[in-house]
Amino acid sequence: MSKIKQRYIYANPLRFNPNTPIKLYAGDTTYVPGEGNTTQWTQIISDSFETYYCEWTGSFGDRAMSAEALGVKDSATIRMSYNPYIYEKLRTVKVVILKNADTTGIVEDKPDKNNPNVYELWGGVDNVKEGNLYMEFRVRRYEGL
């Protein structure tokens, strides 16, 4: 094995290429008497970072066919570095993901269901092998209510 390749393997223990910027927004739903449920969307900011980088892999083949059978037209798998704050948000509240950090995906403090860069968590989030190195989750296009 060449020294350059060997150096890369040890310098990058995550073994994926986080080259897609994303922004994350968490929905906090509260009940207001007389008005019903209201959802407030706030950007997830951790350690003063508001843009995160991930490896974005679109669905194709059997995965795309299985998703389509469930009514999902567009889905992807995201891998990103482990962040305990983001991990907890993904596990406990509704989160939308803006691919390419597209700030036009939030209109009047609500996710825009017509924007092709707005996705929502589909399924759960996995702290891969409980190693606290990276997490993986699937997303689908946001369809709103």
Structure confidence at residue 72 (pLDDT): 64
Is-above-0.85 flag for pTM?
no
Query: How many helices and strands in the chain, by DSSP H and E?
Result: 3, 9
Structure confidence at residue 6 (pLDDT): 46
Q: pLDDT tens track of the chain, all 145 residues?
A: 455 544 444 555 667 889 999 999 999 989 989 989 888 999 999 999 999 999 999 876 666 667 665 666 789 999 999 999 999 999 999 999 999 999 999 999 999 999 999 999 998 999 999 989 999 999 999 987 6
Q: Is 115 exposed, middle or buried (0-12, 13-18, 19+ CB in 10 A)?
A: middle
CB 17, CB 4: distance < 8 Å: no
Structure confidence at residue 59 (pLDDT): 72
